[in-house]
Structure 1
Amino acid sequence: MTTPTLPESTMTPILVTGGSGYIASWIIKYLLEAGYTVHATVRDPAKQSSVGHLLKIAEQAKGTLKLFKADLLAEGSFNEAMQGCGIVMHTASPFVLEGFSDANEALVRPALEGTRNVLNAVNQCPTVHRVVLTSSVAAIYGDNEDILAVPSGVFTEEHWNTTSSVDHNPYQYSKAVAEREAWKLQKEQSRWDLVTINPAMVYGPSLTSGSQSASIDTLVQMGDGRLRTGVPKLTIGVVDVREVASAHLLAAFNPAAKGRFILNATELTMLKIGKILRHKYGSQYPFPRMEAPTFLVWAFGPLMGPITRDFVKRNVGLPLKFDNRRSRDILGVQYRPVEETFIEHFQQVIDDGLLKKKR
């Protein structure tokens, strides 16, 4: 998909929360290139490592970038940045899958209270007419086994994640409770409307180097040999970050856009991802060539990292399917081939020095 065609820019600024993030950076790039004024909130506007890429984009674009300091947990933190804005894109939310001791403090409270604080600021800002919220398919399902309760065998925007909790899949739970809170607050008033973007696992090149994410971790493991003996028989939904950013913009400016939108190019097994990369890079890296028997993943997965036996039981070997028709038919999203997404992302992993070729 090429850069989305946007309406001619006006003087009305657009707010993007979590401006230095993976998805938000692409949103801001597209807006600035189209000539818009963007108010972006970040934790520290003076931190060059976080905002340097945004400032560089702004220097070369015809739009205007203004950075604001904001904290998800600080009430009133978004009021200044929101002044005069017509559209708010709320992308800021913690994405942490491991390494925390308190899931509620690390994930749930920032996601829930952050959404509440942003939308309370929207309620106090009379110029805002539309909010686009970055949610996730994690708000639609928690584990692959959830699809067994869906008669059609396909997840749609009608489905909600009801199986996750603060103790089981806390990240997924945080996305579900945050999105439910957003819809609750939207329905309590009539001035502004809400659209949510629910992407599957996001891959594709980042506008920053050396960033850490679950998608990058997967690609590093694919190339460094940790998975050479076999990958779990795990199916995931995947989508390119540029399509996710485009969907936010298409949702922001399309009056017909209402409700939730699943963003998913296709479903892939881990082995298929390995095959895509091996087709491009050959034997330069020890990509996996087979799927490990599920009983071995169950037995030894916990010894190799964050794969728990409960995760194996609920996900490995089970199908997964999403219906992305609303994103295509209403928003007009055109999905690029996933081969392009993975090859470009893996090349960035190489260029950033996160991998060495096999000797």
Structure 2
Amino acid sequence: MFRVFSGSCMSLEDMDTVLRSALVEHPHVLGPGADFFTEAGEPVRPQPGAQTFQKVFSGSALDLNATNADLSDDEASTMSPVGQPQRIMPPSSILNQISSENEKEKARAAKMKIHVLVIGESGYLASHVVTKLLEAGYSVRMTVPDAARHQKLMDLYSANRDIAQRLAIVLADVTNSNSLRDIIRGCRYIIHCGCSSATSQAKDPVGLYTKAVRALFDGIRLSGKSTVKRVVLTGAASSVVHITEPDPPSGLFDENNWNGIATAEADPLPFAKLVFEREAWRLRKMMGVELVVLLPSISIGPSLTDETSEAMVTIEGLANSSKLFPFCPNLSWNFVDVRDVAEAHVRAMEVAEVRDQRIIISNECVSLPELCRMMKELYPQLTPPTHTAWTVVTLAIASVVLWNSVNLRFLWRSLGVRKRLDNRRAKEGLGIAFTPMRQTLGDCLEQMTRTAQAQQTATAKAPKSGNGIAASSPARLTRTKALVSLITVAAIGAGVVRYVKRQR
């Protein structure tokens, strides 16, 4: 219970407790109630066994006439059965708590005034980034390439009125600086989540990525008196290492490493992302804005929209594999949860100490057979290929099945090779606690299962999978089908070789 001593000469540092017993009551000068003093007119120090009151001073927002009946449920729970308090919070702690809550409200109000532009052609990642920003209290502008995607995102975020009021979704051509100019005006931060998968599959991805990064910085220039403080750019871990490069002495590739082997002819997409980053660093010096480049590895995890990554399509294909062919190529990839990547973008925007840095965002290096074994442990009803296919059989089948879309020399040098990435800067600089791989994979499979069940419930004509995992469209599964074909034929070849050996 709290009492205010009006007119007391006690200092704020002398905030103590007084006794109910042996107190003289004097009417309170500010209204109903009474102040308690000794017969000599001084506040009495507490005595053993006496009911105590916590003392505050005039001007406090606390109720002048608080009684036990006015206590909240949480406060009442701290009282013993006989009415004695079990724990009394010092007034200084109360004032600190009030101050802390006020600071939080001020910080949230300040964030609402900060506009963040998310260039989100890659909707799989961008939707997670936008969600994180809105949850943190920022006002967000998001670009989309077409009206269909605009409507889908509006449907996603319109359920929450507060969020909908802080989100603007606009159509924009991210390779055109004039299209970005007006959108950039008034934004303090820009997060560029990279180009879309359609751009990545174009005939000239290098040219398109170059146009995109130049349009970004030219848009900042054209926006006039720019308010942009920092740009967070989504690069790729492939800009750090090439699969054929020798491992460093530490066994880990870090932000000081650059991919010096990729070429536009042999590795068009990795090379395009490398050019994308290098051009950003060059233009950043000319514009004078802060730049942080995040280098995520292969992103997997639940999707907030109907868009996903190629790695997720591969996981769908593996989950839908036939149990008659349980063999998988011995390829290893670095994986990371897409939600961790989104969180890293927000923190890269906020943390002042990481300005003008490259940061690897990667969790764990896992082979495809290991990934399939995790699937089997999490969902025993699935039939992913859990055995490793022989190298010679994989190469032989790849030369037939993927003869026009894969470099056999590159594939041969990739089999059984692990290139591990150093993620210490993400952990220490950004404070990222990476989601365990099993949890990420489990969330992926759970979403796929729910999607398949929803499709089967909606219409009997919906595509069905024998394992209960949603099947992707034919266009999206082109590469996955090729991979599954490779697994299938490799299994047959391996079985034949083993049979011949047993007959000898």
Q: Same fold per TM (> 0.5)? A: yes
The corresponding residue for 1:70 is 172
Matched to 1:18, the amino acid is G
> What is the CA-CA distance between 1:163 and the residue it aligns to?
1.1
The corresponding residue for 1:231 is 328
Tell me how large the CA RMSD over aligned residues is: 2.4
Residues 1:145 and 2:244 aligned together: yes
CA distance in 2, matches of 1:79, 1:119: 10
CA distance in 2, matches of 1:58, 1:312: 46
Contact 1:233 1:271 in 2 (8 A): yes
The corresponding residue for 1:164 is 262
Matched to 1:316, the amino acid is L
Match of 1:26 among 128, 137, 140: 128
Which 10-residue stretch deviates more, 327-336 or 59-68? Answer: 59-68
Match of 2:427 among 308, 328, 331: 328
Count of aligned positions: 344
Higher relative contact order (CA 8 A, sep 6+): 1
> What is the CA-CA distance between 1:12 and the residue it aligns to?
2.5
Contact 2:247 2:419 in 1 (8 A): no
> What is the CA-CA distance between 1:26 and the residue it aligns to?
0.5
Contact 2:121 2:195 in 1 (8 A): no
> What is the CA-CA distance between 1:118 and the residue it aligns to?
0.7
Contact 2:150 2:170 in 1 (8 A): no
The corresponding residue for 1:318 is 417
Q: CA 1:265/1:95 → structure 2, altered by over 3 Å: closer, same or farther?
A: same
The corresponding residue for 1:57 is 157
Q: CA 1:222/1:43 → structure 2, altered by over 3 Å: closer, same or farther?
A: same
Per-residue CA deviations over 1:264-314 (Å, capped at 9, x if unaligned) read 1111111111011100111x2221121101111111124445544133123
SS at structure 1 position matched to 2:112: coil
Contact 1:236 1:267 in 2 (8 A): yes
SS at structure 1 position matched to 2:444: helix
Q: CA 1:145/1:239 → structure 2, altered by over 3 Å: closer, same or farther?
A: same
Q: CA 1:222/1:74 → structure 2, altered by over 3 Å: closer, same or farther?
A: same
Q: CA 1:96/1:67 → structure 2, altered by over 3 Å: closer, same or farther?
A: closer
> What is the CA-CA distance between 1:214 and the residue it aligns to?
1.1
Q: CA 1:352/1:301 → structure 2, altered by over 3 Å: closer, same or farther?
A: farther
Match of 2:360 among 232, 255, 262: 262
The corresponding residue for 1:357 is 466
Match of 1:86 among 188, 211, 214: 188
Residues 1:277 and 2:375 aligned together: yes
Contact 2:322 2:384 in 1 (8 A): no
The corresponding residue for 1:135 is 235
Which 10-residue stretch deviates more, 114-123 or 247-256? Answer: 114-123
Structure 1 alignment gaps of length 5 or more: none
With structure 1 as the length reference, what TM-score do the two structures score? Answer: 0.89
CA distance in 2, matches of 1:57, 1:314: 45
Matched to 1:357, the amino acid is G
Per-residue CA deviations over 1:7-33 (Å, capped at 9, x if unaligned) read 631312110002661111011111122
Residues 1:250 and 2:350 aligned together: no
The corresponding residue for 1:215 is 311
Q: CA 1:308/1:18 → structure 2, altered by over 3 Å: closer, same or farther?
A: same
Per-residue CA deviations over 1:223-277 (Å, capped at 9, x if unaligned) read 1216943111111100000000000000101111130110111111111110111
CA distance in 2, matches of 1:172, 1:260: 17
Contact 2:176 2:215 in 1 (8 A): yes
Structure index of larger Rg: 2
Matched to 2:130, the amino acid is I
